[in-house]
Amino acid sequence: MQFNVTEEEYQIIKEYSEKKELSMAEILRDYIKTLALSSKK
0.95 surpassed by pTM: no
More confident residue, 36 or 5: 5
Residue 35 identity: L
> DSSP label at 21?
T
Provide the CA 19 distance to its chain's centre, in angstroms. Answer: 13
The sign of the torsion formed by the CA atoms of 17, 14, 6, 8 equals: positive
Provide the CA 37 distance to its chain's centre, in angstroms. Answer: 15
Grade residue 39 by pLDDT with cuts at 50, 70 and 90: confident
Q: Is the pLDDT of residue 40 over 80?
A: no
pLDDT, tens digit, for every residue of 4-34?
999 999 999 999 999 999 999 999 999 999 9
Q: How big is the CA angle at 9 (ends 38 and 16), to the nearest 5 degrees?
A: 70
Distance, CA of 9 to CA of 24 (rounded, Å): 12
